[in-house]
Amino acid sequence: MPVRGLLAGAVIFAVLAGAVWWSETKNKKDDTTAAAKSDSPKLVSLKDDDVTRVEIKQKDSEQPVVLQRGKSGWTMSSPRQVSTDSDAVNSVVSSVTGLTWDRLVDEKPGSLNEFGLNNPSAQVTITGKDNKKSTLLIGDDTPTGGSVFAKLEGDPRVFSVSSGVKSNVVKNWRDLRDKRLLTSDDTKLSRVEVRAGSQDIEFGRAGQNDWQIVKPRPMRAEGMKVDELVRKVRETRLNSGISDEDEKKYATDFASGTKVAQVSLTDPSGTQSLDIRKKGEDYYAKSSLTDTVAKVEKDMGDAVSKPLDEYRAKKLFEFGFSEPSKIEIRDDAKTYSFSKSGDKWWSNGKQMDPTSVQSLIDKLRDLQAIKLLESGFTTPLIDISVVSNDGKRTEKVSIAKTSTTWLAKRDNEPTVYELDGKKVEEIQAAAGDVKAPPPPPSATGSQSGKK
């Protein structure tokens, strides 16, 4: 190789080596030069259950967030005295007590300014039962991204930690407040009331999983739809990530908005209510538990504005997926009677084919109204009785035929159910198709089949 080429290579090598040295010694913010993560210990010795106080200070906030653990859980004393989201507070605590560093950036930095730690963007202090405190200082993002500079107060070392740590522990008071607008226990609700426009609908719980319409008059309710209403209302939350100006606007719009509905939930602890109003195209909600107004989605307004018929039960039979034990049908001059003993179905002392009986049960289970009426029922042509729930439930339905349609009524109920005529005819056919099971293959036939 010519001498000129050797000299050029040496110059290039020297330049590259100098660049590496400069990067490692002058740019301490480049955490790629630091120690390996495999040696990184936990930074805080406190255990989650020992933490009794949390204080979060942010550079741009005038007041810190102060939380205290008591016998009944976490409470907030600054900057507002509001109920807290215990899960959110515990998440902050766990993020601090479980913190480990990614890399050791500098053991004895000459200045903290270059890491943004002289005036940190945030500091989180946790206090234990023995009043021992640990304060985490969080500085600038590292140049390579994905990490932030951090240190413990009283420890000269600077570390880099995952950016996720910052998002997990730097919370404002809105992030940590209890965002639920209603706190009723849905498993213990006894009453739900919806006032929307001229409607005043009240539901009462008839059993652990059964709802009934109480107002405007007693009627059967579609339990799943009542449960869906309760779920929608209880899952409504205060807004996160909003400013004081947003919150003031929501309150103003709510105050001047048009009332959409009020929903009240009652459990053993009392009654809580949620008011929903509309301003322009926006919907807002305010509960009896807080003065704060939440902006909610349009589907919330739709959910609480449904008409009464949306909640009324349309199925004629309520036995659901519990297996009936007896079915009796009078279809004009024809009569059918099927009873179950053990795992076998019988009729007039003869065993019946279970598949054909199941087909009849399925059609009875699915029979429902296409329209709810108040009158019009005439002389019944068909009477059906179904016993279920181990003999504890007996449901009786009568079906009449008019010149234009089929109508049905449940025993001791005023509602008239308009039916799809094809569904009635399918039940008539299924009842007539119940038959004895096919005979088992004979021993002689089995033997002849082998030959």
- State the alpha helices, DSSP H only, in 118-236: 163-169, 173-176, 223-234
- pLDDT, tens digit (0-9, with 9 covering 90-100), for 118-153: 999 999 999 999 899 999 999 999 998 899 999 999
At residue 208, the pLDDT reads 64
**Which residues pair with residue 372 across a beta bridge?**
417
Residue 185 has pLDDT above 60, yes or no: yes
Calpha distance 190→271 (Å, rounded): 10
pLDDT band (50, 70, 90) for residue 39: low
Separation of alpha carbons 183 and 288, rounded Å: 11
Which tokens in the block code for residue 284? 């807002």
Cβ neighbour number for residue 239 with a 10 Å cutoff: 15
Which residues of 27-111 form beta strands (DSSP E)? 51-58, 65-70, 73-78, 103-106
Same domain, 65 and 127: yes
DSSP H or E segment with residue 302: helix 298-303
Higher pLDDT, 224 or 31: 224
**What is the rounded CA–CA span in Å between residue 224 and residue 230?**
10
Whether the per-residue pLDDT at 37 is higher than 80: the answer is no
- In the predicted model, is pLDDT for residue 48 greater than 80? yes
Residues 306 and 362 in one domain: no
Residue 20 lies in a domain: no
Tell me, yes or no, whether 227 lies in a domain.
yes
- pLDDT tens-digit profile of 192-222? 999 999 999 999 997 766 899 999 999 999 9
Nearest to 167 by CA among 141, 144, 189, 185: 141
The reported pLDDT for the residue numbered 451 is 45
Residue 407 — pLDDT band, cuts 50, 70, 90? very high
pLDDT for res 210: 86
Q: Mean of the per-residue pLDDT values for the chain?
A: 89
Domain of 97?
39-176
- Which of 311, 340, 365 is where one domain is finished? 311
SS3 212: strand
Q: Are 33 and 21 in contact (CB under 8 A)?
A: no
Indicate whether 297 pLDDT > 70: yes
**Boundary of a domain, candidates 311, 338, 367:** 311
Whether residue 342 sits in one domain with residue 294: no
Query: Confidence band (pLDDT; 50, 70, 90) for 19?
Result: very low
Say if residue 331 is in the same domain as residue 294: no
Count structural domains, the chain. 3
Provide the 3-class DSSP secondary structure of residue 54. Answer: strand
Q: Does residue 434 have a pLDDT over 70?
A: yes
Angle (nearest 5°) at CA 236 between 181 and 285: 70
Q: What is the mean pLDDT of residues 365-382?
A: 96
The answer to whether residues 332 and 295 belong to one domain is: no
Based on the domain organization, do 72 and 108 belong to the same domain?
Answer: yes
Give the DSSP per-residue string, 316-343: S---TTSPPSEEEEEETTEEEEEEEETT
- Regarding whether 162 and 70 lie in a shared domain, the answer is yes
pLDDT at 273 over 50: yes
pLDDT recorded at residue 35: 43
Buried b (16+ CB within 10 A) or exposed e, 292-318: bbbbbeeebbebbbbebeebbbebbbb
Residue from 61, 93, 53, 49 nearest 77 by CA: 53
Are 336 and 413 in the same domain? yes
| Domain match, 169 and 192 both | no
Q: What is the 3-state secondary structure (H, E, C) of 59-70?
A: CCCCCCEEEEEE
Residues 224 and 335 in one domain: no
Write out pLDDT tens, residues 73-113.
999 999 999 899 999 999 999 999 998 888 899 999 999 99
Residues 119 and 224 in one domain: no
Residue 21's pLDDT is 39
Residue 356 has pLDDT above 60, yes or no: yes
pLDDT value of residue 385: 98
**What is the per-residue pLDDT for 46?**
87
Do 164 and 280 belong together in one domain?
no
Among 158, 176, 194, residue at a domain's last position: 176
pLDDT for position 101: 84
Among 43-52, 132-141, 264-273, 297-306, the range scoring the smallest mean pLDDT is: 43-52
Q: What are phi and psi of 375, to 5 degrees?
A: -160, 180
Residue 341 belongs to domain with CATH number: 2.60.40
Is 9 a domain residue?
A: no
